[in-house]
Amino acid sequence: MSLFSSKNINKIFLSKKSKFDIKDKTDLILSPEFYWVRIFTVPVKTAKEALEVLPTLFEDILPLATFSYKAIKLSDEKYLSFAYNNDEILEHIKKSNLTFTQIGSVYFAQTELKEFSSFSIENSTYTYSEDELLLKIPNAFIQDAVNIEDNLNNLSFSNEKVDLKFYSNILDIKYLYKFSFLFLLFIIINIFRYSTYDKNIDLVAAKIDKIKQSYNMPQTMIQTNSIINKLQRKAKYEIKITQAMSYVLDFKKSIKKGTIEKISFKNKTLIIDFIDIDSSAIKQYLQKKYNIARNINKNNLTRIEMKI
Amino acid sequence: MSRINPIYIFILLFIITVYSFTITSGKQKEFEQNISELFEFKEKAKTFKILNEKWNNKIRVESIIDKIIKNPNFKNANIFKTKNSKGIKLRLNTTEPKIIIKLLNKILNEEFIIKRLDLTSSEIYVEVGLR
């Protein structure tokens, strides 16, 4: 199917000696030089089925090369059969100064110029034989052949286009399509994976928000970390106070003589008043674990202040 | 008829495939990172909850103090409790030093914010902070 409209497209006749200076989109009529044409009787019902046997039928006629084939049904079991060298046509398209992108549709002259029994173009003469096959003949054979150079644009084309493979000579088209299909499959799978991940990322964010709400947490992690650090410092400090108190109260395990008169804790300072105690012994005991900020000895009273 | 070179379509699809793998793998990494952040966040939230309930919960502190006061050990002791917005104050005067030590041990064994403590053989005064 043509991707572009065929209206107002140039129509040109391509022979092996053609040279063009055209930039517009162009439909091509292939000179008989580019193909072999025969009428074969093949016991099949469709042109598609006939196409399968054409390589065998053309085998004895064609030179050694790779050919493409086309079959047009004429009547029951009778097929107008073409063989053409795709690469050779492409080569001559290039030689004629045309580019592949400006080529619209391609037709065989055999099927498109039937209204002229014989004609001339580019100083060559062509005629339809008795069995209606178009042949190139020497100019001298027919003197009054119609020059169709100026009439080409008025032609109405048939539906029998040549399926010219413009790019198939680089890689096998079948593999290209298979790989392209595989790529397309990967792309679809990846789109699905991407959207699933995206959805799950949103779910994770929603879950975090839910936890924040249920635990009454602040909105940012900086705030959360700050509160956690503050509470951890608080917990550590309170444990330190408890341990210090316990250590002070356990002084009897090391020092037999003396009692505690008073313990006071305020503004991070622990003040202990001892009565009748060996001052240096209690200092030594407490200094094992804590720094003594102040020490007062008065009569039988020993006061020790420790910063916790 | 082939108007667009199939190789161009093949190359385009190949590029899109490579690109789709790149962005999907980026998204996958983002998702994995989010999951590990979620686990990390859950741990942090758990820590936050425990710490907050222990050290930032007025109701919990007051209920524990009330339980201590109602403890059978202090049935005959007159523990005075006063409360303001900053904290709870406890005062006990007694001729039995053992009761004082028992109350001190009870308070030190709980997770309280001790703002002030005065202790003699006949009196204990404690200020427990509420936050």
Q: Write down the pLDDT at residue B32.
A: 96
* Confidence class for position A2, pLDDT limits 50, 70, 90: very low
Q: What is the pLDDT of residues B60-71, one digit of tens each?
A: 999 999 999 998
Count of the separate structural domains present in chain B: 2
Are residues B71 and B113 part of one domain? yes
Cα-based angle A183, A189, A194 (whole degrees, multiple of 5): 120
Are residues B29 and B14 part of one domain? yes
Question: Which residue, A33, A175, A180, A157, is CA-closest to A104?
Answer: A157
**pLDDT at residue A59 greater than cutoff 60:** yes
Question: Which residue, B71, B54, B66, is CA-closest to B130?
Answer: B54
Q: Torsion angle of alpha carbons B16, B18, B20, B25, nearest 10°?
A: -170
Q: Which residue in chain A is spatially nearest to B24 when comparing CA positions?
A: A194
Rounded to the nearest integer, the mean pLDDT of chain A is: 89
Contacts of B114 in chain A (CB under 8 A): 238, 241, 265
CB atoms A194 and B20 under 8 Å: yes
- Distance from the Cα of B21 to chain A's closest Cα (Å) equals 7
What is the Cα–Cα distance from A33 to A109, expressed in whole angstroms?
A: 10
* Confidence class for position A1, pLDDT limits 50, 70, 90: very low
Are residues B125 and B63 part of one domain? yes
Q: What is the pLDDT of residues B80-131, one digit of tens each?
A: 999 988 899 999 998 888 999 999 999 988 889 999 999 998 999 999 988 6
Handedness of CA B58, B59, B64, B69 (dihedral sign): positive
Cα-based angle A173, A178, A179 (whole degrees, multiple of 5): 100
Cross-chain CB nearest to B1 (options A163, A194, A200): A163
Are residues B97 and B76 part of one domain? yes
Are residues B81 and B27 part of one domain? no
Range of the structural domain that residue B105 is part of:
58-129
Q: Are A27 and A9 in contact (CB under 8 A)?
A: yes
Are residues B78 and B23 part of one domain? no
Are residues B62 and B47 part of one domain? no
Query: Pick from B40, B55, B70: which residue ends a domain?
Result: B55
Are residues B69 and B46 part of one domain? no
- Distance from the Cα of B68 to chain A's closest Cα (Å) equals 17
**pLDDT at residue A4 greater than cutoff 60:** no
CATH number, domain of B107, equals 3.90.1070
Q: Torsion angle of alpha carbons B68, B70, B73, B78, nearest 10°?
A: 100
What is the Cα–Cα distance from A89 to A91, expressed in whole angstroms?
A: 5
The share of chain A scoring above pLDDT 90, in percent, equals: 63
Mean pLDDT of A92-111: 92
Contacts of A202 in chain B (CB under 8 A): none
Q: Write down the pLDDT at residue A160.
A: 92
Size of interface A-B (CB pairs under 8 A): 154
Mean pLDDT of A25-51: 93
Are residues B48 and B20 part of one domain? yes
Q: Tell whether pTM > 0.95.
A: no
Question: Which residue, A165, A160, A164, is CA-closest to A72?
Answer: A160
* Confidence class for position A168, pLDDT limits 50, 70, 90: low
Give CA B84 to chain center in angstroms.
24
Are residues B46 and B90 part of one domain? no
CB atoms A190 and B24 under 8 Å: yes
The share of chain A scoring above pLDDT 70, in percent, equals: 95
Give CA A13 to chain center in angstroms.
42
**pLDDT at residue A6 greater than cutoff 50:** no
Contacts of A218 (CB under 8 A, 6+ apart): A212, A224, A227
Query: What part of B 79-108 touches A (C-beta under 8 Å)?
Result: 101, 104, 108
Are residues B66 and B107 part of one domain? yes
- Distance from the Cα of A284 to chain B's closest Cα (Å) equals 23
Write out the two tokens for B2. 């082939």
Q: Write down the pLDDT at residue A8.
A: 67
**pLDDT at residue A187 greater than cutoff 90:** yes
Q: Write down the pLDDT at residue A154.
A: 84
* Confidence class for position B55, pLDDT limits 50, 70, 90: confident
Are residues B68 and B110 part of one domain? yes
